[in-house]
Structures are given as structure tokens and as C-alpha cells.
Amino acid sequence: MPSPDPNTNSGPARDRFDALHQELRDRICLLDYAPGTRLSETVLAEEFGVSRTPMRRVLARLEAEGLLHSVQGVGTFVTDATIDELEQVYRLRMELAELSGRLAPMRPTPDQLDGFRQISNRAKALIDTPDPRAFARLIMDFFLALLALTDNAPLREISERLYFQTTRIWLTSLFDSVLDAQREYEIFNREVEDILVALEIGDMQAAAHIQRAHISMSFTRMQQGTS
Amino acid sequence: MPSPDPNTNSGPARDRFDALHQELRDRICLLDYAPGTRLSETVLAEEFGVSRTPMRRVLARLEAEGLLHSVQGVGTFVTDATIDELEQVYRLRMELAELSGRLAPMRPTPDQLDGFRQISNRAKALIDTPDPRAFARLIMDFFLALLALTDNAPLREISERLYFQTTRIWLTSLFDSVLDAQREYEIFNREVEDILVALEIGDMQAAAHIQRAHISMSFTRMQQGTS
DNA sequence: GCTCCTGTTGTTGTGTACATCGAGTGACGT
DNA sequence: ACGTCACTCGATGTACACAACAACAGGAGC
């Protein structure tokens, strides 16, 4: 019996799907495909060596997740968001962050704590050698690592989805120099340090509240830079 | 110019997709397709007079929403949920219900209030002439009407999605006589009345807290009936 | 010069045949 | 009698050809 998974959450076809899905999602969220970019099913299918059919399935999933939008005869576009839509999501994300610390918090394992320390080191390194794309990847890793400390699976999925929908828009402001990149690096480094302190003493609610505060402030800074 | 929608959220193909999507979602959530049921892409496609391709697109969306699960060589199945998974979602839904009243509440318009009174009347009628499927439809209409009072679009989508994922499982307990149907009708009637009182004086937070209490109690009753 | 119409082109949507996979069945060997 | 293996069958997954649709360019008409 080579399949140790009785629930059949894997399989050849599903693995291919997941690989394509994650790759395209990363490209969108790391701004390789900026908001408004038009994608072609054909060229994407050729790039990954599959036909349009499975590629369309992946694109349809990304559309369900709010990252793409297809219209017949025109094309499939990477979604954008107005400042008002963004504010709604950020308000919600703030509440969900607090929920993560209150509903089903899990104290980090030693391995997980090491992971956070590595993230902190990467953040410090970024201050000296700026790299926007590495920064995008880093804040994603940090968010996902924090999310892993929540035992509520639906809450994890929802928070993750909202993160992918909004942070790339926020990063756009950073890439376009609406926000000061160097300053953001330092702020993030401080955030990681502060949350790490809370995690090390096992105060998950404190960590959640710090995260909530930074979600709020990052949006406020973007608002002020835009106006 | 016959198209008054510049955002292109409609269109011939998209309309067909939405129609199929809503119809199948209703069948799943009204227990026409009970959890565990195996569906056939071919027969569904034939029933609606389309080919497998657009039908598969709809099924893929429902899979993304957690209502279906397809595995190659076996079939597509209506998802079920263990009591533990259900508890996680219910805990989350309780918090989101409170959020609806706190984050972006909108006082109901006179038309919306009339809608709630009609729902109340339907609930009263159901007590005398029981009808499980009509009850399923009624509580769905009530939930969606309450959701319409929240101005936060992402919160609406998320709450709706969690509702569709879980309430059908709860209804299963009702259909299988784990819960007393007559008693549930009366409890629901009371819930609608109580929330209506809060809505009429414009106290949205009170309405949200009543809803939260009923979400909690309905799950508790199911737990007690199952054990 | 401007408007409208029409053909062209490229896109996503649909239909259909085939590939791939897994469960069930039956014969075979032990 | 029981386990094993090969086969069959129906399911979902994939590839490709075509239809439907929208934007664009170019020219006729005013």
C-alpha cells in the first residue's frame, strides 16, 4: 500500500494542481504579476507544459480566491483593490488576528521558536542589503509561521486568504515608493522582535495584540502616504 | 449601450455559471444531496443541458468552497464533517456573528424589516405544518437577511461560506431525528421574534449577540443529542 | 473632420474524444 | 477455503478543435 493517506488528499493530478496553484499564487503575491496585469491561459499552459484545461482549473481556483478575474473575449486579469475595499479587509484582519490569540492559541514548539529567530535574522540582514522581493517573501513566511500557532483550521484558511488578497496591494505601495522601504524594513524587524519576546514567554494573546497593532499601523501608513 | 455594468461582473457565460452554481449549492445545503452522496459529472451535465466542461468548472468552485471533494478514478462526493471540525467552525461563527454587529452594522430599511416579519410569519406557519425542507430554506433566508445588515463585504462572504459548510450538517441531525424537529421550529420562531425586537429599535449589537447565543445553543443541542 | 459600420484578431468559453486512475470481480494457484 | 493477480469498468483528468465574444483598426458615408 504505497498511499498512506486514506482520505485521498493527494494523488498525481492533485499534486500537479497544487504545484501550479502555489506557484501562480506566489507570483501574484510577490508582485511578479502586479495588480491589473493581463495573463494568457495559453502562454501559462505552455510555460508549465500542460494544456489549457488543467491551467484553467488553477486559474478558476485563483479567481475563487479573489486573486484573478476572467472575462470572456477580453482576458484574465490580476485583481486590484480600491482603498475602501482594502480598509474593509484590514479592519477584518485586525479582528481575526486578535481571534487567533483568543480562540485556539498553541504555544510554539522549540523548533517553531527557532523558525521565528531565523525570520528575525533574515529581517536584520534585509536592513543592510535591501531586497523588495525577499522582503515580500519574508513577511509572508512570518505571517504563515504565526498562523501555524492557531489550532482553528477554518480561521487559518480565512486569515491566509485575506492576507494573500491584501498584502500584495500594500506591497505595491512599497514598490512604488509611496512608502519608505528602509523604514518599513526596520519597522518589520521591530515587530518580529516584539512578537518573539511574547512567544518566548508563551503569552499568545500578547503576540496576537502586537500583530493586530502592526496590521492597523501598516494600513494607516499606507493611507497617509496615498493621500 | 445595453451593458450598464462597466466592471463586467455579468455576461452570458458568467450568468450560466452562477445559475448552475447556486442551484447545486442549494441542493447540497438543502440536503437534496446529503453528505457522502456521490455525484456524477456526466449525469449532472446532461440534466442541465451542458457538457462536462462548464459543469466541471462549477463543481471545482464548489470544491473550493468546501462543499464537494473530487478524486480521480473514484468520483465527486458531498463533503461531511466530524463533530470536532464542526465545533471549530461553530466557535468561529459565533465570533463572526458578534463581529457583524460590532464592525459595520447597518440599521435595516423598512423593506428589510418587512422581510424579517415575513420570515417570522413563515416560521409560525411551519410550527403547525412541519416541512423539513421549507425549514432549511427558511433558516437560510433568515441568515442571509441578517447578513445583509453588515456593511463589510469580506465578512459577509466569509460568514456565508461558513454557514453553507456547517448548517447542512446540523440539518442532517434534524432530518435523522437526532434533534426534535417540532422543538427546533419553536426555538427558531422564538429566535426570529427576539432578533426582530432588537432590529426594530435599531440595536444591531443586541441582535448580533442574540444570534451568537443561538448559534452556540444549536450546536450544544446537537452535541447532546449525538452523545 | 467625424461617425458609424464592418472585418479582423485574439481572448476566454464549450464540446468531445481520449488518457489515467482506482475499485470491484472473477479466475487462478496454493 | 483463502489470498493473489489480472482484467474490466466507470469515474475524473487531459488534450485539442471549435464557438462565442469583445476590442481594435480601417474605410465608407455624411
Nucleotides of D under 7 A from a protein CB: 10-17, 20-23
Task: Please say if the pLDDT value at position A2 is more than 50.
Answer: no
pLDDT value at residue A7: 63
A85-110 pLDDT, tens per residue? 999 999 999 999 999 999 999 999 99
Antiparallel, parallel or unpaired: β B75-78 and B68-71: antiparallel
- Point out the residue among A57, A153, A162 whose CB comes nearest to the CB of B60: A57
Read off the C-alpha cell for B157. 462572504
User: Any idea where the domains of chain B sit in the sequence?
Assistant: 12-78, 83-226
pLDDT value at residue B4: 45
Q: CA of B130 vs C1' of D24, distance in Å? A: 61
Q: How far is B150 from B166, CA to CA, in rounded Å?
A: 20
* Helix and strand counts by DSSP (H, E) for chain B: 9, 3
Give contacts of A65 with chain B, Cβ < 8 Å. 64
A156-180 pLDDT, tens per residue? 999 999 999 999 999 999 999 888 9
**A155/B92 Cβ within 8 A:** yes
* String of DSSP letters for B98-134: HHHHHHSB-PPPHHHHHHHHHHHHHHHHHHHS--HHH
Return the H-helix or E-strand segment holding B76.
strand B75-78
The predicted model gives A31-38 an average pLDDT of 98
pLDDT value at residue A60: 98
Task: Please say if the pLDDT value at position A6 is more than 70.
Answer: no
pLDDT value at residue A3: 37
Return the H-helix or E-strand segment holding A102.
helix A83-103
Q: Which residue of A has its CA nearest to B89?
A: A154
B83-226 matches B12-78 in CATH topology: no
Instruction: Please enumerate in sequence order all residues whose Cβ is within 8 A of that of A43, keeping only pairs 6 or more positions apart, or say none.
Output: none
Residue numbers of chain B with a pLDDT score lower than 70: 1-7
Q: Which of B189, B210, B208 is nearest to B107 (CA)?
A: B208
ipTM of the complex: 0.94
Site from B17, B57, B82, B91 to mutate, A interface, most A CB atoms within 10 angstroms: B91
Q: Which residue of B has its CA nearest to A66?
A: B154
Task: Please say if the pLDDT value at position A225 is more than 50.
Answer: yes
Whether domain B83-226 has CATH 1.10.760.10: no
Q: CA of A75 vs C1' of C18, distance in Å? A: 29
Task: Please say if the pLDDT value at position A48 is more than 70.
Answer: yes
Task: Please say if the pLDDT value at position A25 is more than 80.
Answer: yes
- Nearest DNA or RNA nucleotide to A71 (CA to C1'): C12
Read off the C-alpha cell for A148. 501555524
**Amino acid type, B75:** G
Quick check: A73 CB within 7 A of strand C? yes
- Point out the residue among A14, A72, A154 whose CB comes nearest to the CB of B88: A154
pLDDT value at residue A5: 52
3-state secondary structure of B167: helix
Read off the C-alpha cell for A119. 525570520
pLDDT, averaged across chain A: 95
A183-216 pLDDT, tens per residue? 999 999 999 999 999 999 999 999 999 999 999 9
Identify, with chain letter, the residue nearest to nucleotide C12 (CA–C1'): A72
Nucleotides of C under 7 A from a protein CB: 10-17, 20-23
B100-110 pLDDT, tens per residue? 999 999 999 99
User: CB of A155 within 8 A of CB of A99?
Assistant: yes
Window 137-166 of B, Cβ < 8 Å to A: 152-155, 158, 162
Q: CA of B50 vs C1' of D11, distance in Å? A: 19
Whether domain B12-78 has CATH 1.10.460.10: no
